[in-house]
Structure 1
Amino acid sequence: MKSNQNIVEELVNYQNILLTNVKKHWRRYLFTELHADERLLGIKGLRGVGKTTLLLQYLVGALEKGTKGLFVTAEHPYFYQHSIFDLASLWVSYGGDLLLIDEIHKYPNWSRELKLIYDGFPHLQVIFTSSSALDLYQGEADLSRRLDVQVLHGLSFREYLSLNGIGHFESVTLEEISADPQKIPSEIINQLKSPILPLFKNYLASGYFPFSNELKKERIPQRLIQILNTVLESDLSMVEGYSAANVTKIKNLLGVISETVPFEPNISKLAERMHLGRNTINIYLKNLEDAKILNLLFERVKGISQLQKPAKIYLENSNFLYAFQQNPSIGTIRETYILNQLRNSGHLVGSSKKGDFKIDESIVLEVGGRNKDYTQIKEVDNAYLAVDDLEIGFGNKIPLWLFGFLY
């Protein structure tokens, strides 16, 4: 039987191996926004967006400040015979004050033990990552008064440019780009090393995930399909307790939707076609949205019930479109991108009877190509065009690519 000292040494050695490979000079947007003063912090996000790297980068900074931190993954063999609570107790006994746990959704009873750790070790900070499919407030134990949750989204277009060494820029607000759609784009373009529009097309097709700069472009769709399958077969199964039959039905539903996105659902016909109940279809849709595979667009942006029918259904990001289809519709690509970037930057987005989207209950946005005019929104107050194939905006026309600088 291993001694406690041997166990700690093994875990620290494992951590040190990971730290030798961590990127130290490029960080995701959330790194500077982390609620680092929280004693219990959860970071959710889709697979592949960089949650593990974010934890390790945070640990590097903490260690440099003298904090005694430990990184583990919930899949580590240590947890075959020990609990998270055991580890926290052991680490505290060795003077530890920071515990980082990766992929906590793979550990049973995670919420109950986090509650015990929070209450029992008031000087230990715990930061963990989980699948976006996991509702961190709905575990067996009530963590709502103890837990803070942040979400790590895929790369913005701004981050994509920075990751690839093309240009480093600060994020902008929706108010700033709508107030002057000419000044900010001009400043960005003047600093770029390459033309903006081809870069934007590359981002739409394959730039949403940080691994995009490590893989050959033709291999990215295959990697995305692997991510989707893992989320469906592993994460959703673990989080929702779904059987293989449930997962197959969810895959079939996703297949139907991906054929015609943006999908305007007739829930009754969809339920009949798939031999499922209406409520089951709505629950599956909600699961797919929680897992960051779909974006559901409703007429109202507040007070949405779980069983309310969405007006339209989109894939969560434009890269998924290219994984499902070789040549997706350019109109669908534009709308998918806009909805993704607006929501990822914290805006409330609903459908609009005039225009494509209503933002924060106040701004109407119509999306289109270079020749798009104001016909659909000419009588609408506070309305704008998001225009593709346009480098610099003017009037109420905002370049489509500029929405990728919101976070």
Structure 2
Amino acid sequence: MFSIENILNTFVTKYQTEKMEELLDFQANIFRQTTETWYRYLLDNLESEERLLGLKGLRGVGKTTLLIQFAKFRYAEKTKVLYVTADHPYFYSNTLFDLASLWNKNDGKLLMIDEVHKYPNWSRELKLINDGFPALQVFFTSSSALDLYRGESDISRRLAVQNLEGLSFREYLNFFEGHDFKPLTLAEILKDHVSLAQEITKDFHPLPSFKSYLSSGYFPFAKNLKTTAVPARIIQTLNTVLETDLAFAQDYSAGNVAKVKRLLGVIAASVPFTPNISTIAEKLGLSRNTVYMYLRHLEDAKIIRIVNRPDKNLGSLQKPDKIYFENPNFAYALQPDANIGAVRETFFANQIANATKAVHLSEKGDFLVENQFIFEIGGAKKSFDQIKDLPESFIAADEIEIGFGNKIPLWLFGFLY
């Protein structure tokens, strides 16, 4: 005998089954498209034992591919993992918590959510999922613009966060050109750069590849594009970050986005530079505090890199000492005739910081690394005049394959991760 309750339960079960099949079909289709067996550096260092893991990074660096590769090639119980995107139509009529509950009931072990910043109330529901389903792991990706520790619910004690950066020069060589170079430590480069460079260059000349990398090699998507098409794709990426990611992460209106674009235009015209905040504010018709806020948002979104002196208080309303683009590809996309000196400095700061080394401005020389090593960046003829007699000082020189003494090839710092 069928009661109304039994009929409703049967309907709900059937509905849930159909929705789960729909999501699994979506996942299978996504997984079929991911056949690449070359891995980013972070895959082997993923904190895969964490119950709640957030993966942040600039749009286009490969966060989605990393998640899928982990599920396909590294996760032992492949039938226990479910991948979804936060903007999937499923969420038009269901919540993230609903999905986690359903997957948990189906003995799922890992739920992977792509672009979580597109889901409203993401932090609140992640907290509920983490508290309510202790056997379920949740991995998710988000825009680099999103502060994962700032949401409607405090998940900071539960959450592990890892950053996926753009391609290092080493990864570019391996992915684009089929090499198999291993990463080097900063200590190895400083101590043994001559022998390391000799080994790397015995059957290979890195300088032409390095030039290509600086202009168009930071993003994996460039491999499938003509070189001439890369700048337009990078500008498209920048626009998406500004118009979509910042809109979600910082609740920007169209008017906010327009103002930030104008600020980025001012930066692009003179980067790297020491900003005059009052002049910028007056030129754009903004308050000083608004300019400070927008600069911090652009840095969080990994569009620019702010480099300060080591004694600088890193408050949000502090004047930046110097502003660079986050990576040299941005410089070339926004400035086709980008100054090569600025590009070299941008590359060095990028690779050092991406390798999780502290980088600051130096009173003598260009950069202070790990509060210990002083670096002057330049071309092949760069002299030690500015840093002579300083202990632990080095030149990172472009346009040389092999260095000597404390003069190190600039390209070798692209092997740090």
TM-score range relative to shorter protein: over 0.9
Tell me which moved more, 98-107 or 299-308: 299-308
Give the secondary-structure state (helix, strand or coil) at the position aligned to 2:177.
coil
> If you compute each CA radius of gyration, which structure gives the higher value, 1 or 2?
2
Runs of 4+ aligned residues of structure 1 deviating over 2 Å after TM superposition are 61-67, 300-303
Alpha-carbon separation, structure 1, partners of 2:196 and 2:64: 33
**1:270 maps to which residue?**
280
**2:180 maps to which residue?**
168
- Residue identity matched to 1:9: E
**2:5 maps to which residue?**
none
Alpha-carbon separation, structure 1, partners of 2:312 and 2:174: 34
Residue 305 (1) aligns with residue 315 (2)? yes
For each residue in 1:94-129, what CA deviation from the matched residue of structure 2 results, as whole angstroms up to 9, or x when unmatched?
Answer: 110000000000000000000000000001000000
**1:95 maps to which residue?**
107
Give the secondary-structure state (helix, strand or coil) at the position aligned to 2:83.
strand
Q: CA deviation at 1:146?
A: 0.1
Tell me which moved more, 22-31 or 63-72: 63-72
Q: CA deviation at 1:351?
A: 0.7
Normalising to structure 1: TM-score of the pair?
0.97
**1:145 maps to which residue?**
157
Give the secondary-structure state (helix, strand or coil) at the position aligned to 1:190.
coil
Residue 79 (1) aligns with residue 91 (2)? yes
**2:216 maps to which residue?**
206
**1:280 maps to which residue?**
290
Alpha-carbon separation, structure 1, partners of 2:111 and 2:215: 37
- Residue identity matched to 2:228: E
Residue 330 (1) aligns with residue 344 (2)? no
Residue 134 (1) aligns with residue 146 (2)? yes
- Residue identity matched to 2:274: E
- Residue identity matched to 1:256: V
Quickly say closer, same or farther: Cα 1:242–1:236, change in 2 above 3 A.
same
Give the secondary-structure state (helix, strand or coil) at the position aligned to 2:84.
strand
Q: Spell out the pairing of 1:17-36 with structure 2 (5 A cutoff).
A: 17-36=29-48
The question of whether the paired residues in 1 share the 8 Å contact of 2:173 and 2:179 is answered with yes
- Residue identity matched to 2:148: L
Out of 190, 195, 200, the position equivalent to 1:178 is 190
Residue 223 (1) aligns with residue 223 (2)? no
Alpha-carbon separation, structure 2, partners of 1:63 and 1:286: 37
For each residue in 1:224-260, what CA deviation from the matched residue of structure 2 results, as whole angstroms up to 9, or x when unmatched?
Answer: 1111111101110111111111111100000001011
- Residue identity matched to 1:178: L
Alpha-carbon separation, structure 1, partners of 2:35 and 2:350: 26
Normalising to structure 2: TM-score of the pair?
0.95
- Identity fraction in percent: 55
**2:72 maps to which residue?**
60
For each residue in 1:272-292, what CA deviation from the matched residue of structure 2 results, as whole angstroms up to 9, or x when unmatched?
Answer: 111111111111000000000
The question of whether the paired residues in 1 share the 8 Å contact of 2:309 and 2:360 is answered with yes
Q: Spell out the pairing of 1:94-113 with structure 2 (5 A cutoff).
A: 94-113=106-125
Equivalenced residues, count: 405
Q: CA deviation at 1:166?
A: 3.4
Alpha-carbon separation, structure 2, partners of 1:344 and 1:301: 21
For each residue in 1:379-403, what CA deviation from the matched residue of structure 2 results, as whole angstroms up to 9, or x when unmatched?
Answer: 2111000000010111001100001
Q: CA deviation at 1:25?
A: 1.4
Residue 249 (1) aligns with residue 272 (2)? no
The question of whether the paired residues in 1 share the 8 Å contact of 2:308 and 2:320 is answered with yes
Give the secondary-structure state (helix, strand or coil) at the position aligned to 1:261.
coil
Q: CA deviation at 1:169?
A: 1.1
CA RMSD of aligned residues (A): 1.2
Q: What stretches of structure 2 of length at least 5 have no aligned partner?
A: 1-10
**2:6 maps to which residue?**
none
Q: CA deviation at 1:16?
A: 0.5
The question of whether the paired residues in 1 share the 8 Å contact of 2:292 and 2:318 is answered with yes
**1:46 maps to which residue?**
58
- Residue identity matched to 2:396: A
Tell me which moved more, 269-278 or 59-68: 59-68
